[in-house]
């Protein structure tokens, strides 16, 4: 078929279609489609698709896709994707991705990524990344990174990094770094 507009689908398998507009999908498997526009998806597995526009996804597994535009995601696992544009993510694990643009992330673990552009991050752990551009970070732990550009950091712990460019830092502990460029620092401890 060439086009879909569906509501309240359960246990559906959709193959070789050109376009989807779905709401309230449950336990759906979608294969080899070029485009998705979904809202309120639950327990969905999406494979070999080219583009996503999703809102209010819950417990979804997304594999081998090329692009994401998501809002209000909860408990989502995203693997081997090339690009993300996310807002209001909660409890998300993101692996082996090349680029992130995130806003309002909470309790997120990000591993083996090459680039971050984040705003309003809370309680985030970032590991083995090469570059950060972050604003309004709170209670963040950053490890084994090569470069930072941060503004408005609060209660952040930074370890084994090579360079910093920070503004408006409060209550920050910085360890084993090679260079600092800071403005408007308050209650900062700098070691080694």
The rounded distance, in Å, linking the Cα atoms of 186 and 172 is: 8
The rounded distance, in Å, linking the Cα atoms of 107 and 120 is: 12
pLDDT digits (tens, 9 = 90+) for 52-61: 777 777 777 7
Task: Quote the Cα angle for 81-105-75, to 5°.
Answer: 65
Confidence band for 120, pLDDT divided at 50, 70 and 90: confident
Q: Which two tokens stand for residue 108?
A: 């997120």
| Number of CB atoms found within 10 A of residue 23's CB | 16
Q: Is the pLDDT of residue 2 over 70?
A: no
More confident call, 112 vs 103: 103
In terms of Cα–Cα distance, which of 67, 2, 54 is closest to 28?
A: 54
Quote the pLDDT of residue 91.
78
First-last CA distance in the chain:
64
Three-class SS state of 128: coil
Q: Which residues contact 99 (CB under 8 A, 6 or more apart)?
A: 82, 83, 84, 113, 114, 115
The rounded distance, in Å, linking the Cα atoms of 56 and 127 is: 27
Specify the residue for token string 């550009």. Answer: 149
Q: To the nearest 10°, the Cα dihedral for 15, 17, 20, 26? A: -10
Q: Give me the chain's average pLDDT, please.
A: 72
pLDDT digits (tens, 9 = 90+) for 11-26: 777 666 667 777 777 7
- What are the boundaries of each domain within the chain? 109-192
In terms of Cα–Cα distance, which of 27, 34, 29 is closest to 13?
A: 29
Whether this prediction's pTM lies above 0.75 is answered by no
In terms of Cα–Cα distance, which of 135, 59, 60, 55 is closest to 102?
A: 135
């Amino acid at each position: 078929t060439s086009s879909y507009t569906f509501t309240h689908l359960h246990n559906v398998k959709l193959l070789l279609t050109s376009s989807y507009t779905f709401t309230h999908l449950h336990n759906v498997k979608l294969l080899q489609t070029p485009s998705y526009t979904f809202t309120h998806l639950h327990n969905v597995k999406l494979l070999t698709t080219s583009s996503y526009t999703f809102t209010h996804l819950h417990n979804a597994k997304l594999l081998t896709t090329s692009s994401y535009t998501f809002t209000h995601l909860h408990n989502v696992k995203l693997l081997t994707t090339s690009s993300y544009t996310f807002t209001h993510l909660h409890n998300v694990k993101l692996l082996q991705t090349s680029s992130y643009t995130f806003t309002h992330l909470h309790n997120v673990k990000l591993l083996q990524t090459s680039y971050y552009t984040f705003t309003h991050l809370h309680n985030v752990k970032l590991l083995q990344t090469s570059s950060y551009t972050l604003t309004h970070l709170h209670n963040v732990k950053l490890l084994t990174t090569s470069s930072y550009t941060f503004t408005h950091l609060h209660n952040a712990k930074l370890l084994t990094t090579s360079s910093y460019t920070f503004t408006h830092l409060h209550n920050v502990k910085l360890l084993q770094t090679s260079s600092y460029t800071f403005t408007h620092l308050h209650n900062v401890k700098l070691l080694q």
